[in-house]
């Protein structure tokens, strides 16, 4: 299912195909903050897509927010580093920064992997 | 650059000045700071303000923005990493800064950047572009000319990629420089380094260090300009106050001797004393020392002086370090000096404080601030003697030096009252400052004939002829009354010796009078006798006459 989220660039929405049993599966809402199309943000997006397809196929929604188009959101959503990935759902809110090349740490950040002691 | 606000009656002062070759500077509006930096902070560049917790960094940064907005019409952005906008507004409300109103009017903007390391997972390469976006938006939204970053330490605590942080910081300051905004960055004091995280590496155009010390239960705040590239600056430590209206830094006026000099004379409030002072009183803008032992009448003299000033329309600042304001008013009323009407009319301001309340530097800073606010023509300090309590860095003479110099440079006529301990009318302190003082009156109680009587004399009064007599005076219900000089064969007489001399002279006058009367009567009596004799002789003569004419008549018949 692709839902339009108001004033965001329509092409920046991505989600997996609808799951057969959607009601019981946890939906992941992810937001990726970028500042223009830079190599780091493209890399981050690709890494994110890959991870989502692998670990939560069909149960995710990625929203890309370009702060150069929407600068006010930087303050509202407390974004400092670029790129920043915010997991809105499931709760609690988690913030992950960087281009997501370190898959392990990304998974830890998304709480799909426990942190190593 | 600043242009006048359209519709304003008076154009706002220019914030940016270029005093000669070198960096242009942005005035902060903070009392004293612009003086010691000779114009303010470097325009369009970052200034680092560092110090330990609680020393006033945030306040200085905030005041820089608030005054920039209010006094120079330069909007400002406050990027805060530790306190929220509400907390900051709350903290400065007691100083009379209405931050919310300025935000409403679009003169101030805040951005609370919250960085919590525990919330952040670092997964690869990143940069701090989000911060740039936020700052750009804030600056553009109000056209900011001033920016505060308080405190950059939080960036170091939040992110672990040091190399990245360093390069992003460099990029940030280049970016700010390109935008031509004057920036104040706060940093926490390090052990042995200026800041904990080495911010001075990036912000090196101007560095100001704040210090807050507690010595012998007295707290002193000091400010030092550690570095200011491209310009001369005062390198000393300057004490500062955080008072009701923000920060006041105490600049040391250059102790040059180039004060403007006046020929005008001001009354002491006691006409006969004016007569002793070259016939007209003190010079305006001069410094006067009144010293004497306890109870010798010094405060009364000071009150006369203040009263005379207010009567002729001057404003007088009376700094009281021994008695409260109401006590002074009451005491002076009992000798016929009504200070309350001057208090009501606003010509007189009595500020009373315990000397032990602050260190000496703070007192000096307070005096600077009060003089700046009231702009008096006359200042009285009563007394200066107990200000030396618990002085550490600065002794009383050094303080007096700075104070006298400061007041002279403003053309203020200043009277200092000094209590001399023991029987001596003046002490070592006075001897030390006597060369700075223009006029010196000593009040001395003379013992003679088993009594102590009040006298005063003028030790010196530069620039005029003055009396060298020791004059007795009384403190009556109408104030100080200088008596006529009574010179007996042994010298000037005072008290009951004078009284007895007066009585003797009176008695002598009376007896002379009586003697004259007696002589008059005696002469009158003699006159009467002679008159009687003359009458008798006349009688005899007329009788003879009658006899002769009778005999003549008989012989003719």
d(CA B57, CA B51): 7
Q: Regarding predicted confidence, which is higher, B277 or A13? A: B277
Structure token pair of residue A72: 């006010």
> CB-based contact (8 Å) between B171 and chain A?
no
Q: Residue A79 — left, alpha, or beta (φ > 0 → left; ψ -120 to 50 → alpha)?
A: beta
Residues of A in contact with B114 (CB under 8 A): 78
Report DSSP state, residue B517.
Answer: H
Nearest to B123 among A71, A74, A101 (CB): A101
Q: Is B51 helix (H, G, I), strand (E, B) or coil?
A: strand
B75: closest CA of chain A, how far (Å) = 19
> CB-based contact (8 Å) between A64 and chain B?
no
Nearest to A82 among B122, B127, B136 (CB): B127
Contact A71/B130, CB-based, under 8 Å?
no
Nearest to B124 among A68, A98, A108 (CB): A98
Whether A18 shows a pLDDT value over 50: the answer reads: no
Contact A100/B125, CB-based, under 8 Å?
no
Query: Per-residue DSSP letters for A15-57?
Result: EPPPPTTTTTSPPEEEEEEESSS-HHHHHHHHHHHHHHHHHST
Please state whether beta strands A84-89 and A94-97 pair in parallel, antiparallel, or not at all (unpaired): antiparallel
Residues of chain B with pLDDT under 70: 1-14, 17-22, 216-217, 233-234, 251-259, 388-398, 421-433, 490
pLDDT for the residue numbered B74: 94
Residues of B in contact with A109 (CB under 8 A): 121, 123
pLDDT for the residue numbered B22: 67
Residues of B in contact with A75 (CB under 8 A): 111, 134, 137-138
> CB-based contact (8 Å) between A115 and chain B?
no
pLDDT for the residue numbered B254: 53
Nearest to A81 among B114, B126, B136 (CB): B126
B63: closest CA of chain A, how far (Å) = 24
Q: What are phi and psi of B14, to 5 degrees?
A: -75, 135
Question: What residue of A is the nearest CA neighbor of B131?
Answer: A80
Contact B120/A105, CB-based, under 8 Å?
no
Question: What residue of A is the nearest CA neighbor of B135?
Answer: A75
Chain A contacts in chain B segment 95-114 (CB below 8 A): 111, 113-114
> CB-based contact (8 Å) between B122 and chain A?
yes
| pLDDT tens, position by position, A64-80 | 999 999 999 999 999 99
pLDDT for the residue numbered B372: 86
Contact A74/B130, CB-based, under 8 Å?
yes
pLDDT for the residue numbered B8: 37
The number of angstroms, rounded, from the C-alpha of A93 to the middle of its chain's C-alpha atoms is 12
Mutate to test the interface with A, among B133, B138, B155, B171 (most CBs of A within 10 A): B133
Please state whether beta strands A28-34 and A84-89 pair in parallel, antiparallel, or not at all (unpaired): antiparallel
Contact A81/B124, CB-based, under 8 Å?
no
- Looking at beta carbons, which pairs linking A36-44 to residues 24 or more positions away fall under 8 Å? A36/A66, A36/A68, A37/A66, A40/A82, A40/A83, A40/A99, A40/B125, A40/B126, A40/B127, A41/A82, A41/A83, A41/A99, A43/A99, A43/A100, A43/A101, A43/B124, A44/A83, A44/A85, A44/A98, A44/A99, A44/A100, A44/B124
Q: What is the mean pLDDT of residues A23-37?
A: 83
The Cβ of residue B244 has, within 10 Å, a number of other Cβ atoms equal to 11
A84: closest CA of chain B, how far (Å) = 8
d(CA B149, CA B80): 6
Is the predicted ipTM greater than 0.85, yes or no?
no
Nearest to A109 among B113, B121, B137 (CB): B121
Residues of B in contact with A84 (CB under 8 A): 126, 130
pLDDT for the residue numbered B258: 63
Adjacent-strand bridge partners of B110: B78
Structure token pair of residue B473: 């005076």
Mutate to test the interface with B, among A31, A44, A74 (most CBs of B within 10 A): A74
Adjacent-strand bridge partners of B79: B111, B149
pLDDT for the residue numbered B432: 64
Cα dihedral sign for B310, B312, B313, B315? negative
pLDDT for the residue numbered A10: 39
Nearest to A97 among B123, B134, B137 (CB): B123
Structure token pair of residue B435: 């060369």
d(CA B444, CA B473): 10
d(CA B31, CA B46): 20
Q: What is the mean pLDDT of residues A88-117?
A: 87
Contact B124/A79, CB-based, under 8 Å?
no
Confidence band, pLDDT 50/70/90 cuts, at residue A7: very low
- Run of H or E including B33: helix B33-36
């Amino acid at each position: 299912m692709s839902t339009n989220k108001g004033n965001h660039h329509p092409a920046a929405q991505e989600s997996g195909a609808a799951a057969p049993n959607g009601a019981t599966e946890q939906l992941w809402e992810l937001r990726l903050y970028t500042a223009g199309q830079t190599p780091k943000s493209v890399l981050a997006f690709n890494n994110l897509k890959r991870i989502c397809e692998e670990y939560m196929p069909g149960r995710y929604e990625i929203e890309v927010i370009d702060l150069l188009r929407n600068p006010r959101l930087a303050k509202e959503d407390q974004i400092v580093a670029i790129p920043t990935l915010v997991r809105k759902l499931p709760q609690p809110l988690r913030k992950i920064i960087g281009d997501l090349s370190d898959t392990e740490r990304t998974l830890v950040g998304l709480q799909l992997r426990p942190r190593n002691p | 650059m600043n242009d006048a606000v359209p519709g304003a009656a008076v154009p706002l002062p220019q914030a940016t000045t270029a005093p000669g070759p070198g960096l242009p500077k942005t005035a902060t509006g903070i009392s004293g700071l612009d003086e010691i930096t000779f114009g303010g902070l470097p325009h369009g560049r970052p200034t680092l303000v560092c110090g330990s917790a609680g020393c006033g960094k945030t306040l200085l940064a905030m005041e820089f923005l608030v005054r920039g907005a209010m006094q120079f019409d330069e909007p400002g952005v406050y990027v805060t990493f530790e306190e929220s906008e509400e907390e900051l507004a709350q903290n400065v409300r007691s100083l009379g800064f209405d931050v919310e109103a300025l935000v409403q009017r679009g003169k101030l903007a805040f951005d609370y950047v919250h960085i919590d390391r525990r919330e952040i997972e670092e997964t690869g390469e990143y940069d701090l572009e989000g911060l740039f976006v936020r700052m750009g938006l804030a600056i553009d939204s109000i056209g900011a000319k001033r920016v505060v970053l308080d405190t950059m330490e939080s960036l170091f605590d939040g992110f672990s990629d040091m190399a990245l942080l360093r390069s992003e910081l460099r990029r940030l300051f280049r970016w700010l420089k390109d935008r031509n905004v004057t920036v104040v960055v706060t940093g926490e004091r390090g052990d042995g380094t200026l800041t904990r995280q080495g911010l001075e590496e990036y912000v090196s155009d101007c560095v100001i260090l704040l210090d807050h010390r507690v010595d012998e239960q007295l707290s002193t705040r000091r400010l030092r300009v550690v570095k200011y590239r491209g310009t001369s600056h005062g390198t000393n430590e300057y004490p500062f106050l955080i008072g009701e209206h923000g920060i006041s830094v105490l600049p040391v006026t250059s102790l040059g001797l180039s004060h403007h000099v006046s020929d005008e004379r001001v009354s002491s409030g006691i006409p006969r004393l004016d007569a002793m002072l070259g016939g007209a009183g003190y010079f305006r803008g001069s410094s006067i020392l009144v010293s004497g032992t306890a109870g010798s009448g010094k405060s009364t003299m000071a009150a006369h002086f203040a009263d005379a000033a207010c009567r002729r329309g001057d404003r007088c600042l009376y700094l009281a370090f021994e008695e409260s304001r109401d006590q002074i008013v009451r005491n002076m009323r009992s000798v016929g000096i009504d200070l309350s009407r001057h208090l009501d009319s606003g010509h007189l301001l009595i500020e009373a404080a315990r000397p032990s309340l602050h260190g000496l530097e703070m007192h000096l800073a307070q005096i600077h601030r009060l003089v700046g606010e009231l702009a008096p023509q006359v200042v009285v300090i009563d007394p200066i003697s107990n200000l030396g309590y618990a002085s550490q860095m600065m002794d009383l003479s050094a303080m007096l030096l700075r104070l006298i110099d400061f007041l002279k440079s403003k053309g203020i006529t200043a009277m200092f009252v000094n209590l001399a301990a023991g029987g001596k009318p003046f002490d070592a302190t006075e001897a030390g400052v006597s060369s700075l003082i223009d006029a010196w009156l000593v009040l001395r109680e003379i013992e003679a004939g088993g009594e102590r009587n009040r006298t005063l004399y003028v030790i010196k009064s530069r620039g005029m002829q003055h009396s060298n007599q020791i004059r007795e005076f009384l403190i009556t219900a109408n104030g100080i009354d200088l008596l006529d000089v009574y010179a007996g064969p042994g010298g000037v007489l005072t008290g009951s010796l004078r009284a007895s001399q007066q009585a003797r002279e009176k008695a002598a006058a009376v007896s002379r009078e009586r003697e004259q009367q007696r002589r008059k009567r005696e002469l009158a009596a003699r006159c009467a006798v002679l008159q009687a004799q003359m009458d008798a002789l006349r009688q005899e003569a007329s009788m003879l006459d009658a006899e002769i004419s009778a005999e003549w008549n008989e012989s003719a018949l």
